[in-house]
Chain A
Amino acid sequence: MRISVIAKYLGFVLLFNALLMYISAAISIFLKETSITPLLYSAILCTIVGVFPQIFVEKTEELKPHEGIAISVLGWILTCIVGSIPYFMWGGEFTLTNAIFESTAGYTTTGSTILTNIEMLPKGLLFWRSATHFIGGMGIILFVLLILPNAKAARSSIYRSEVSGLSMLNFQMRMREIVRIIGIVYTSLILVETIILWALGMTFFDAICHSLGTLATGGFSTKNTSIAFYNNIWIEITISFFMLLGGMHFGLIYATITGKKQNLFTSDVVKTYLTIIFIGILFITFKLVNDHVYNWGEAFRHASFQVVSLVTTTGFATVDTSVWPMFTTVVLIYFSIQCAMIGSTTGGLKFDRVYLFFQTFLKQIKQTKHPNAVYVLRMDKTLISSEIELQSMAYIIVYLVILLTSTLALSAMDIDLITSFSGSVATLGTIGPGFGKTIGSMGNFSTLPDAAKYIFSTNMLLGRLEIMNVIVLLVSLTDKNR
């Protein structure tokens, strides 16, 4: 593994982060806030350290596969660390641990927070929180690929390590084109949502921050009570719609806009995904009405928002779900584990894998019934190779093992079961809020021990990096023949 080459690409990652830090610093300078020094100095620091490897390392066309993985994994870790510098330098509630937690929650688009009073943060720092969602939503590495000049082979190697094989299914084009499409769809939707939210009564600043949080499926709000602050059904409908879009395959969204045959309306996976969400909303609505928590209208409104918010791993809230009946919590936990679609900005297990899991299960039953028959798996008319099938199964197993290990480790710190389990689900699935009084939809992670915050931060990174890359990197590092 060529460390110098990896350092060169990590330098690009730092430079991209610096760009958004400068924008956040400009907001602070304009508003004469206390966050000028933290943001500006962090930006300058990122620029200097980012430029440094460029002085020494010459242009590299070829990258080995494990170098691509190293750039991807280390890029994310480095980003989370440097992203915490503005928070740490600003102080307030941000200790070093809290700053790293907040930064990781931002970049991984988890949206969990340690802040007890979000509204007292300077606007520049609030924008930086949302900007980390923006970077993380598309993926810092993909951003770098988008701006990287003339490095075809290297770009391809990094891309393969950043985007899972399953998510490439709906893209029938060249890599550079795919990255470009993701970028266009992502930024266009953010712009459209910002305008709509602004028109619906949000301030422009709040509108842009919430749009960044929605399309990135992150969930950082500028208000302590999240979307509940606005108590506006049209804002909730708009955000729900864009959360749903943010949770769908960007290739399919692009295909729908450009009138391609294989699109959102013809995709079986999308149809099944939406049907399951609708059934979940109905279940919760019936339960809330049955238990006299809300009337029909209110129950459907809040159930819809919460289900969409959790399944798309966004984590915005309109109500405190910790007071809801246990049945609704169980349904919401299911959606928190299932998550949204591959090829979107979401993290976690992802619906396509759950879909594939059940397809494989049915295939195995048929195979047992007719041992000599040959059955193939298809997703949206695309043939699924046994390699992808196996990768998905392995991913689900590893995901569940990490979920249980994390719950066990947190329980060892005397954290109650609902907090440790739902916290693990919420962070590994990059959702944000968990369940229960402490980390519920209106709670935060501030009171948890530092060690727990590091476990949650690791979960967020694993969830965003799709676990396998981290394992491959660790194997590569320990492999003597590398």
Chain B
Amino acid sequence: MLKSLRTKIFFSFMLLVLMLVIAGIMSIIEFNKVGVSIKNVMDDNYKSIEQTKHMLDALEREDSGLLMYLMGNREMGSQTIDMAYSTIQNAIKIAQNNITEKDEDKYINNIIKEYEEFHASVKQTTDTSEKLTLEEKNEIYLQNQQLFFAAKKTINELMQLNQGGVYKQTNTMKENSKRAMMPAIVSIVAAIVFALLLNFFISEYFIRPINRLIDGVKSFYPEKGIINSGIKSNDEIKSLETETNNLIGRLLRLKNQSK
């Protein structure tokens, strides 16, 4: 038990400060988690989504390149196919280095498998197209279309996986930001309760004893000898009462001596 009023007040305020500081630290930690979630969305999921978009775009261009080639614009078609191939390979590499979701590597392997089949078929078509009739070219192009759609489907699946990840991360961010606010909200309520309690204790242990002392002084008469205000604590106010009584004693003695 603390005896000095000064220490009591000091510790009370220290507790209040401690509570608020901890609430602040907890909020900072939680907001940092929100930041990490945002980073995850931006760096990881969004990066993968961007790469799948590049893949889809390049796949479409490769298909267009094949069509150009078959239509007779061989040089342009060949260039388009090669550029698309290099774009897709690049996007796959980035996606492989950015695995963030469960089984994402399997999805990427599926893309590689389906795309390689499509690209091999495209290459085979361009290599043999010179000898083919228009009907045969049309038939081969339709066959290629099936492989094209299969490759496109796997890329879309990877995109959906990462979009799901974004949704999940957004929900986490929502929860984290709510959680980050909570220490502050709870602290506000706790601080109000704390203030009310502090007010009560100040009134009980400071104001009331002082009032008692005032009443004691007011009702003092020399025959009584001392002031007894009924203060039971062992703090500065009790010391004040004791010292006041000592003073009264000294004054009374002085008065008696002067008589």
> Which residues from chain A sit less than 8 Å from chain B, CB to CB?
3-4, 7, 34, 37-38, 40-42, 44-45, 48-49, 51-56, 58-59, 85, 88-92
Given contacts A44-B22, A59-B1, contact A89 B182 (CB under 8 A): yes
Binding site for A on B (CB under 8 A): 1-2, 8, 11-12, 15, 18-19, 22-23, 26, 29-30, 175, 178-179, 182-183, 186-187, 190, 193-194, 197-198, 200-201, 204-205, 232-233
In the bound assembly, the distance between CA atoms of A4 and B198 in angstroms comes to: 11
- The answer to whether A88 and B1 touch (CB under 8 A), given A56-B8, A56-B201, is no
Contacts of B178 in A (CB 8 A): 91
- Closest 7 pairs (CB-CB, A-B): A89-B182, A56-B201, A48-B19, A48-B15, A41-B26, A37-B26, A91-B178
Instruction: Give chain A residues whose Cβ lies under 8 Å from the Cβ of B233.
Output: 58
Of the candidates B19, B179, B187, B200, which one forms a contact with A90 in the assembled complex, judged by CB atoms under 8 Å apart?
Answer: B179
Contact B179 A51 (CB under 8 A): no
Given A49-B193, A49-B194, A59-B1, are A4 and B26 also a contact pair (CB < 8 Å)?
Answer: no
Q: Is the CB of A41 within 8 A of B183?
A: yes
- Among residues of B, the one whose C-beta sits closest to the C-beta of A89 is B182
Other A-B contacts than A49-B194, A55-B15, A56-B12, 7 sampled, CB-CB below 8 A, are A7-B200, A34-B175, A42-B186, A49-B197, A88-B182, A90-B179, A91-B175
Secondary structure class of chain B's binding surface, majority of residues: helix
Q: Would you call B200 and A3 a contact (CB within 8 A)?
A: yes
A89 / chain B contacts, CB cutoff of 8 Å: 179, 182-183, 186
Query: Which residues of chain A are within 8 angstroms of B204 by Cβ–Cβ distance?
Result: 3-4, 56
List, sorted by A's number, 27 A–B pairs whose CB atoms are closer than 8 Å: A3-B200, A7-B197, A34-B179, A37-B29, A37-B30, A37-B182, A38-B182, A41-B22, A41-B26, A41-B182, A41-B183, A44-B19, A44-B22, A45-B19, A45-B187, A48-B19, A49-B190, A52-B197, A53-B197, A53-B201, A56-B204, A58-B1, A88-B182, A89-B183, A89-B186, A91-B182, A92-B175
Contact A85 B193 (CB under 8 A): no
Q: Could you tell me the distance between the alpha carbons of A276 and B29 in the complex, rounded to whole angstroms?
A: 56
Among residues of B, the one whose C-beta sits closest to the C-beta of A3 is: B200
Contact B183 A55 (CB under 8 A): no
What residues of chain A lie closer than 8 Å to B12, measured between beta carbons?
A: 52, 55-56
* Alpha-carbon separation in the docked complex, A34 to B193 (Å): 27
Interchain nearest-CB distance for B258 vs A (Å): 42
Residues of B within 8 A of A41 (CB): 22-23, 26, 182-183, 186
Task: Return chain A residues, CB-CB under 8 Å to B198.
Answer: 52
Note all chain B residues with C-beta closer than 8 A to A49: 190, 193-194, 197
- On chain B, the residues within 8 Å of A59 by CB distance are 1
Residues on B with beta carbons closer than 8 Å to the beta carbon of A40:
26
Verify A37–B186 contact, CB threshold 8 A. no
Interchain CB contact (< 8 A) of B186 among A4, A45, A58: A45
**Cα distance, A213 to B175, chains bound together (Å):** 29
B194, A52: Cβ atoms closer than 8 Å: yes
A55 to chain B, nearest CB (A): 5
Query: Cβ of B15: which chain A residues have Cβ within 8 Å of it?
Result: 48, 51-52, 55
Closest residue on chain A to residue B174 by CB atoms: A91
A44: chain B residues at CB < 8 Å are 19, 22
State A188–B175 Cα separation when bound (angstroms). 40
Interface contact A55-B186, CB-CB below 8 Å = no
Q: How far is the CB of A60 from chain B (nearest CB, A)?
A: 11
Contact at A55–B11, with CB atoms within 8 Å? yes
A55-B11, A89-B182, A92-B175 as given contacts; A45 in contact with B190, CB under 8 Å? yes
B59 to chain A, nearest CB (A): 39
Looking at the assembled complex, report how far the CB atom of A418 sits from the nearest CB atom of chain B, in whole angstroms. 36
Q: Which residues of A contact B197 (CB under 8 A)?
A: 7, 49, 52-53
Q: How far is the CA of A90 from the CA of B200 in the complex (A)?
A: 32
Residues of B within 8 A of A34 (CB): 175, 179
B200 (CB) vs chain A CBs: closest residue: A3
A203 CB to nearest B CB, Å: 23
The answer to whether A55 touches B19, judged by C-beta atoms less than 8 angstroms apart, is: no
B183 near A37 with CB under 8 A, answer: yes
Closest to B8 in A: A55
Compute how far the CA of A30 lies from the CA of B17 in the bound complex, rounded to whole angstroms. 28
> B178: shortest Cβ distance to chain A, in Å?
5
* B-side contacts of A55, CB under 8 Å: 2, 8, 11-12, 15
Given known pairs A55-B11, A55-B12, the reply for A37 and B22 (CB within 8 Å) is: no
* A91 to B, closest residue via Cβ: B178
User: What is the distance, in angstroms, from B17's C-beta to the closest C-beta of chain A?
Assistant: 10
CA distance A49 to B190 in the complex (A): 8
Which chain B residues border A92 with CB–CB below 8 Å? 175
Give the most central of A7, A41, A45, A53: most B CB within 10 Å.
Answer: A41
Contact partner, A56, options B18, B23, B29, B205, Cβ 8 Å: B205
CB distance from A44 to the nearest CB of B (A): 5
Which residue of chain B has the shortest Cβ distance to A11 in the bound complex? B197
Closest Cβ neighbor of B197 among chain A residues: A52
B180: min CB distance to chain A, Å: 8
When the two chains form their complex, are residues A4 and B201 in contact, meaning their CB atoms are under 8 A apart? Answer: yes
Contacts of B183 in A (CB 8 A): 37, 41, 89
**Chain A positions within 8 Å of B19 at CB level:** 44-45, 48
Set of chain A residues within 8 Å of B23, measured between Cβ atoms: 41
In the complex, A85 Cα to B204 Cα: how many Å? 29
Q: Give the distance to chain B from A273, nearest Cβ to Cβ, in Å.
A: 44
- Which residues of chain A are within 8 angstroms of B200 by Cβ–Cβ distance? 3-4, 7
By a CB distance below 8 angstroms, the chain B residues around A85 are 186
Highest count of chain B CB atoms <10 Å: which of A34, A52, A56: A56
Beta-carbon nearest neighbor of A45 in chain B: B190
| Closest residue of A by beta carbon distance from B183 | A41
